[in-house]
Structure 1
Amino acid sequence: MKKFIPLSTFLFGIFALFSCGKTTTISSNMELTGKWELQSIVQNSDTIQKPALAKGQMPVSLNFKEKGELEGTTSTNIMTGFYETAQQNTIQLGGGGTERAETQWGNLFVNALPNVNLYDLKMNRLVLYYENNNQMIFSRVQ
């Protein structure tokens, strides 16, 4: 006599199989959506803190929008682009803007951004990792 697996057990097994592994898509990553301001950069174990803003400067920030749209400000310029997240907290950022009259802080951000490949999101803190575990640490603005 053949034994049959109950349908509910079979469906649960299929669900468990396909839900293993963290997959984030652009449209469902609402935790990442919003504006983030750069607080510090960690390069080769040295931490560089956000400097005070001089007249005419903007805070360095990223605004992750729905559908993969990305906006940001460097210390003196505006940028636009895209982002895409995937399994195991991988992220790809792209876009551009001008680099006119950029500050040292803005240049650190602009030069690191194309090399970002991983992110970690906890509460109101976002860490973007690039090149040998270097980090850009952001806090949520809105």
Structure 2
Amino acid sequence: MKRLVLPSIFLAASAGMFSCGKTTTINSNMELTGKWVLESVVQNEDTIRKPGLTKGQMEVSLLFKDKGELEATSSTNFLTGYYETSQDNEIQLGGGGTERAETSWGDLFVNALPAVNQYDLSAEKLVLYYENNNALIFNKARLR
């Protein structure tokens, strides 16, 4: 099986976030809690839409839990960590996960996560902004 190491910048940034000396209070945003499914990625003014799933792939999603806990799935990996929000719609994500080969869709997601710093939230849509107004656009997951 081919293995791909998750971007070292995410793991290094996460390690730095977990080991920093300052004390932070996790702000659990009740509107943000729940599962969000990645529908499109905007990079350099181009919109990349979610591809169809093939056998063995997972839906790319984020699950914001109470008390700042975060779970995510990329196309082939599981990620766990934390999130913190603050005034002015700032958000910080951190964590790590498994390291199986990613699809190009999963790579877009995993590579963007460490750079996410702002969010915009409506009832059914979550936009996470990173690097020069690039964005990950999620829809609220429907309960089945």
When the two structures are superposed, what TM-score results if normalisation uses the length of structure 2?
0.79
What does the per-residue CA deviation read over 1:5-44, in whole Å, with 9 as the maximum and x for residues that have no partner? xxxxxxxxxxxxxxxxxxxx623x1100000000000000
The separation in 2 between residues aligned to 1:107 and 1:81, in whole angstroms, is 18
Deviation at 1:122, TM superposition (A): 1.0
Percent sequence identity over matched residues?
71
The separation in 2 between residues aligned to 1:122 and 1:103, in whole angstroms, is 29
Query: Which amino acid counterpart does residue 54 of structure 2 have in structure 1?
Result: A
Query: Which amino acid counterpart does residue 64 of structure 1 have in structure 2?
Result: F
Task: Give the greater-gyration-radius structure (CA).
Answer: 1
Deviation at 1:98, TM superposition (A): 2.2
When the two structures are superposed, what TM-score results if normalisation uses the length of structure 1?
0.80
1:136 maps to which residue? 136
Name structure 2 gaps, 5 residues minimum.
1-25
Q: State the secondary structure of the residue aligned to 2:31.
A: coil
Hey, which bits of structure 1, 4+ residues long, moved more than 4 A? none
Q: Greater relative contact order (Cα 8 A, min sep 6): structure 1 or 2? A: 2
Q: CA contact under 8 A between 1:82 and 1:94: conserved in structure 2? A: yes
What does the per-residue CA deviation read over 1:30-77, in whole Å, with 9 as the maximum and x for residues that have no partner? 100000000000000000000000101000000000000000000011
Query: Which amino acid counterpart does residue 26 of structure 1 have in structure 2?
Result: N
Deviation at 1:94, TM superposition (A): 0.4
Matched, 1:26 2:16: no
2:69 maps to which residue? 69
The separation in 2 between residues aligned to 1:52 and 1:45, in whole angstroms, is 22
Deviation at 1:132, TM superposition (A): 0.3
Q: State the secondary structure of the residue aligned to 1:112.
A: helix
Matched, 1:40 2:51: no
Deviation at 1:99, TM superposition (A): 2.9
Name structure 1 gaps, 5 residues minimum.
1-24
